[in-house]
Amino acid sequence: MWALADEWLDERQTIGRGISANTESAYRRDLTAWAWRIAELKSGGSDEHHPAPLGFQEELGRLHIGDLHADNVKRALASLAREEYAPASRARMLASLRGFCGWLSQEGHLAADPTARLENPRPAERMPVAFLSSELEAIVRTVSEADPGARPPRPKRDRALVAVLAGAGLRASECAGLRVADVVREAEPYLRVIGKGNKERRVPVAPEVVDAIDGYLDPETGERGEHHPTDPLFVARAGKPYTRESLNYHVVRWLARAGVRKPEGESAHAFRHTYAKGLVARGVPISSVQKLLGHASLNTTEIYLRMTAAELHDAARAAEVRDFLRATAPAKSRD
């Protein structure tokens, strides 16, 4: 089974722009998790029982093609729900298995796709968390000063990072993946960004964002050190490029220093929400916001419309006249 999964992933790499390394890793993790659950259902506590998943090859090697039938898949999906996996996680994992099983069916390895009749779990909509203007100001002021706990402090790098995150709305992985040459200084400067699915987009940025980056890159007064166009734009210790995890670590430090509460479930991504919310609040067309954020579907972007509308509704409810109207309202009839 693992050889078939490898063949499917190889084919995914040949379609269009292919898939990123992160996407392939996610597919492998999801298929490993599915294989483990289905194999555990099959073993039923026999000597083949494993309390935790093994590797990709080991877990998929425990399955035969006949094990991928609708009943097993349905029971494995139910086990994810009982283990309190979030609906969004279950939906993503089902999408991975659906892609693999669809390919197996098309190639003649399966008589029927066992995922065809399954409905996607519907996650409860959670509004994005954005920073208030006062919080964003506090963060910018904080990172523009040396961190007394850092060895060595690098305020120009931190300021440039905040400028890119909040001024271009990049995902943490996109920010970490920027190269020096991706900062394009024309009459209308922009960042060349490689997003999900290896899709490239151009994100216009304000001159102040470029100024912050240039302050970090300056060969005489900056903190980047010697660099070439193909080098990572942002580097951590020993010249290593940032990862999403290391970037989130820095964000948590910034928020603590600035006295800003960390949004639940968010770190660097909260800057992306702040950027998008600001665009919508200023009347930028939602289709333009979609392109700037690199969303494949307009439905994903429209949550910022609902977010802004909800905040306007809350603001209206807080209008001072409500107190006066409440105090002078006639008594309601009891008939």
Catalytic member of 159, 269, 273, 277: 269
Classify residue 47 by its DSSP letter.
Answer: T
Inter-axis angle of helices 155-168 and 269-281, nearest 10:
50
Beta-carbon contacts of 50 under 8 Å, excluding residues fewer than 6 positions away, are: 36, 39, 40
Tell me the chain's radius of gyration from C-alpha atoms: 25
**162 near 143, Cβ under 8 Å?**
yes
Catalytic member of 92, 192, 262, 295: 295
Catalytic member of 272, 273, 275, 277: 272
196 classed as catalytic: yes
272 classed as catalytic: yes
Catalytic member of 196, 201, 227, 257: 196
- Which string of DSSP letters, residue by residue, matches 164-222? HHHHH---HHHHHT-BGGGEE-SSS-EEEEE-GGG-EEEEE--HHHHHHHHHHH-TTT-
Q: Give bridge partners of residue 179 from the DSSP assignment.
A: 232
304 classed as catalytic: yes
Alpha-carbon distance of 107 to 65, in angstroms, equals 13
Q: Give bridge partners of residue 190 from the DSSP assignment.
A: 184, 204
Helices (H), the chain: 2-14, 21-43, 56-60, 70-82, 87-106, 133-143, 155-168, 172-176, 207-217, 244-258, 269-281, 286-293, 298-301, 303-317, 321-328
**223 near 212, Cβ under 8 Å?**
no
Residues annotated catalytic, as ranges: 171, 196, 269, 272, 295, 304
